[in-house]
Amino acid sequence: MEDVLTLGIESSCDETSVAVVKNGREVLSNIIDTQIPIHEKYGGVVPEIASRNHIEAISRVTKLALEKAGVSFKDIDAITPTYGPGLVGALLVGLSYAKALSYALDKPLVGVNHIQGHIAANYITYKELEPPFICMMMSGGNTQIVNVKGYTEFEVLGKTRDDAIGEAFDKVARVVGLGYPGGPKVDKLAKEGIPEYDLPKTHFDNLDFSFSGIKTAVINLNHNTPNLNKANLCASFEKAVTEELIENIKKVMELPDINTKTIALAGGVSANSYIRKEFLKLEDEGYKIYMPDLKLCTDNAAMIASAGYYNYISGKRDALDLNAIPNLKLN
Ligand code: KG4
Residue 57's nearest CA partner among 105, 87, 101, 90 is 90
- Ligand 1 atom at shortest distance from the alpha carbon of 118: 1
pLDDT in tens, 217-231: 999 999 999 899 999
Residue 112 dihedral angles phi and psi, to the nearest 5°: -125, 135
pLDDT at 331: 75
User: What's the CA-to-centroid distance between 145 and ligand 1, angstroms?
Assistant: 17
Residue 19 predicted with pLDDT over 80 = yes
Q: Whose CA is nearest to atom 21 of ligand 1?
A: 268
Q: Whose CA is nearest to atom 7 of ligand 1?
A: 140
Q: Whose CA is nearest to atom 23 of ligand 1?
A: 183
User: What's the CA-to-centroid distance between 295 and ligand 1, angstroms?
Assistant: 11
pLDDT at 293: 98
Answer whether the bond into residue 181 is a cis peptide, omega within 30°. Answer: yes
pLDDT at 205: 87
Identify the burial level of 75 via C-beta atoms within 10 angstroms of its C-beta, where 0-12 means exposed, 13-18 middle and 19 or more buried: middle
pLDDT at 25: 98
Residue 88 predicted with pLDDT over 90 = yes
Average pLDDT on 257-282 reads: 98
Pocket of ligand 1 (CB under 6 A): 13, 118, 139-141, 166, 169-170, 181-184, 187, 267-269, 271-272, 298-299
Residue 62's nearest CA partner among 81, 85, 44, 47 is 81
pLDDT in tens, 50-70: 999 999 999 999 999 999 999
Residue 71 predicted with pLDDT over 80 = yes
Distances (CA, A) of 138 to 33, 211, 241, 242, 299: 22, 12, 11, 11, 12
Answer whether the bond into residue 132 is a cis peptide, omega within 30°. Answer: yes
User: What's the CA-to-centroid distance between 298 and ligand 1, angstroms?
Assistant: 6
User: What's the CA-to-centroid distance between 204 and ligand 1, angstroms?
Assistant: 25
Residue 1 predicted with pLDDT over 90 = no
pLDDT in tens, 103-134: 999 999 999 999 999 999 999 999 999 999 99
Residue 93 predicted with pLDDT over 90 = yes
Q: Whose CA is nearest to atom 24 of ligand 1?
A: 272
- Ligand 1 atom at shortest distance from the alpha carbon of 267: 1
User: What's the CA-to-centroid distance between 138 and ligand 1, angstroms?
Assistant: 8
- Ligand 1 atom at shortest distance from the alpha carbon of 142: 7
User: What's the CA-to-centroid distance between 100 and ligand 1, angstroms?
Assistant: 30
Direct distance between the N- and C-terminal alpha carbons of the chain, in angstroms, rounded to an integer: 29
- Ligand 1 atom at shortest distance from the alpha carbon of 166: 12
Of 178, 273, 298, the one to substitute when testing ligand 1's pocket (max ligand atoms within 8 A of C-beta) is 298
pLDDT at 5: 98
User: What's the CA-to-centroid distance between 269 and ligand 1, angstroms?
Assistant: 4
Q: Whose CA is nearest to atom 2 of ligand 1?
A: 268
Distances (CA, A) of 177 to 182, 219, 264: 9, 11, 32
How does residue 77 score in pLDDT terms, banded at 50, 70 and 90?
Answer: very high
Average pLDDT on 187-198 reads: 96
Of 113, 139, 214, 237, the one to substitute when testing ligand 1's pocket (max ligand atoms within 8 A of C-beta) is 139
User: What's the CA-to-centroid distance between 104 and ligand 1, angstroms?
Assistant: 35
pLDDT at 202: 84
- Cβ atoms 196, 229 nearer than 8 A: yes
* C-alpha 204: how far from chain center: 24
Q: In what order do the strands lie in the sheet with 78-84?
A: 26-34, 15-22, 5-10, 78-84, 112-113
pLDDT at 151: 98
Packing angle of the helix pair 165-175, 230-253 (nearest 10 deg): 170
Higher pLDDT, 86 or 200: 86
Query: Whole-angstrom Cα distance, residue 228 to residue 128?
Result: 46
Supply angle C-alpha 99, 34, 42, rounded to 5: 110
pLDDT at 62: 98
pLDDT in tens, 283-307: 999 999 999 999 999 999 999 999 9
pLDDT in tens, 144-186: 999 999 999 999 999 999 999 999 999 999 999 998 889 999 9
Higher pLDDT, 44 or 89: 89
Computed over every residue of the chain, the mean pLDDT equals 96
Average pLDDT on 72-81 reads: 98
